[in-house]
Amino acid sequence: MSAREVALPRGRKVQIAEAGDGPAAVYLHGIADIHGASFGWLPFHEALAERLALIAPAHPGCAASSEDEALETVDDLVFHYLELFDALGLETLRLAGSCIGGWIAAEIAVRHPERIERLALVGPTGLFVPRAPIADVFWETHPADGVSFAALRGLLFGDAGSETARAMFPDLRGDIDQEVLRYQLFRFASRIGFNPPYLHSRRLAERLGRYRAPALVVQGADDRLGPRRHGEVYAEGFADARLEIVDGAGHSAFAERPGAVAALVADFLAGP
């Protein structure tokens, strides 16, 4: 993996991880993900990089990307990423995102469908679905009894006790650098996703039809952060999309079943 910084207007810096060869694909990270709970690539990303030139920027305020005090809404973020694509010289690109990264990717795609050739979302948040709210991940970042993060792992993973889940969100306090990395992620996420509660924009669903190029939506069968209906609404809303449900995984399917999810996403993104 190579890492570098890209400069944007207003003095902002974006940290970018890059790997692999092939068609350029930008990957927007989620919570249990690179730049969110892991400093480096996960097996999922390494598998993608075998087929794609993968570019994974850290969201503003995450990892070494500079924090943007002016950032208040997901719209601000869409402009942030348009500026980044411009800076990278990517007139058109393939775009993927997981969790909140999936939400942001969808927001970009409905605004600028002409720039996104293919769109892959894994466990995306972002939708308001009446009576099927996205769960409160912020609440669960406060450990029960001061020490246990079992409930947070329960929202983010199908199996809260799995090794992967425990490595990213250990009970007690982990290494301070990792704690700070996670704090940065939640600080970023709450800027755009704490109000309205949680992690969605109310009118995204009615705009999905603007994106007419191929889309893939992947959701863990046991996703407890985003209800199944969210994956379905995404897939029904885009003009040309299919929904894949991955068994044996929860919200962070890409981390829980990296081989299966990477195969789906790489096949799709590397397509014509």
Partner 1 sequence: MHPVQLFHWHFMAYPYLPDDFDERFDTGWVTVPNRLWDRERTDGLYQEYIDQLAEAAGLGFDGLVLNEHHQNIYGLMPSPNIIASALTQRTERAKLVVLGNLLPLHLNPLRVAEEYAMIDSISGGRLIAGFAVGGGPEAYNYNIPSPQSRQRFWEAVDLILRTWTEDGPFEHEGPSYPLRYVNIWPKPRQTPHPKVWIPGSLSAETMDHVARRGFDYFLSSRTHGAATRQARERFADILERHGDAYHPFRMGVLLSVYVAETDEQAKEEAEEGVWYFLKYCLKGHLRRTGRTLTFGPGVPSQSVRSWRAFLENSTPGAPMLGDADDWEELESKASIVVGSPATVREKLWALIEQAEVGNLLIQFHFGNMEDSLARKSARLFAEQVAPDLRARSAELFARKYPALADRPAASAAE
The residue within the footprint of partner 1, chosen from 65, 184, 201, 252 (CB under 8 A), is 184
Rounded CA gap, 153 and 206, in Å?
A: 31
Stretch that binds partner 1, among 14-22, 88-96, 179-187, 203-211 (CB under 8 A): 179-187
Helices 74-88 + 100-111 axis angle, to 10: 80
Site for partner 1 in 191-210 (CB under 8 A): 191, 194-197
Return the H-helix or E-strand segment holding 6.
strand 2-8
- Whole-Å CA distances, 164 to 245, 251, 252, 253: 20, 13, 10, 11
Stretch that binds partner 1, among 135-143, 156-164, 214-222, 260-268 (CB under 8 A): 135-143
In sequence order, which residues have a C-beta less than 8 Å from that of residue 131 and are 6 or more positions away? none
Rounded CA gap, 66 and 89, in Å?
A: 21
Contact between 11 and partner 1 by CB under 8 A: the answer reads no
Stretch that binds partner 1, among 95-103, 145-153, 158-166, 251-259 (CB under 8 A): 145-153
Q: Applying CB under 8 A, what is the total number of residues that bind partner 1?
A: 31
Among 40, 26, 42, 37, smallest CA distance to 62 is for 37
CB distance 214 to 207 below 8 Å: no
CB distance 160 to 148 below 8 Å: no
Minimum CB separation from partner 1 for residue 170, in Å?
10
The residue within the footprint of partner 1, chosen from 72, 86, 240, 247 (CB under 8 A), is 72
Contact between 145 and partner 1 by CB under 8 A: the answer reads yes
Minimum CB separation from partner 1 for residue 160, in Å?
16
Site for partner 1 in 158-177 (CB under 8 A): 172-173, 176
The letter for the amino acid at 264 is L
Contact between 20 and partner 1 by CB under 8 A: the answer reads no
Minimum CB separation from partner 1 for residue 140, in Å?
7
Minimum CB separation from partner 1 for residue 31, in Å?
10
Backbone torsion region of residue 77, taken as left when φ is above 0, otherwise alpha when ψ lies between -120 and 50, otherwise beta: alpha
Residue with Cβ nearer partner 1 (106 or 192): 192
Contact between 79 and partner 1 by CB under 8 A: the answer reads no
The residue within the footprint of partner 1, chosen from 20, 36, 57, 61 (CB under 8 A), is 61
Contact between 179 and partner 1 by CB under 8 A: the answer reads yes
Helices 176-193 + 100-111 axis angle, to 10: 40
In sequence order, which residues have a C-beta less than 8 Å from that of residue 54 and are 6 or more positions away? 17, 18, 19, 20, 25, 27, 45, 48
Residue with Cβ nearer partner 1 (9 or 70): 70
Q: Which residues bind partner 1 (CB under 8 A)?
A: 61, 67, 69, 72, 137-147, 172-173, 176, 179-180, 182-184, 186-187, 190-191, 194-197
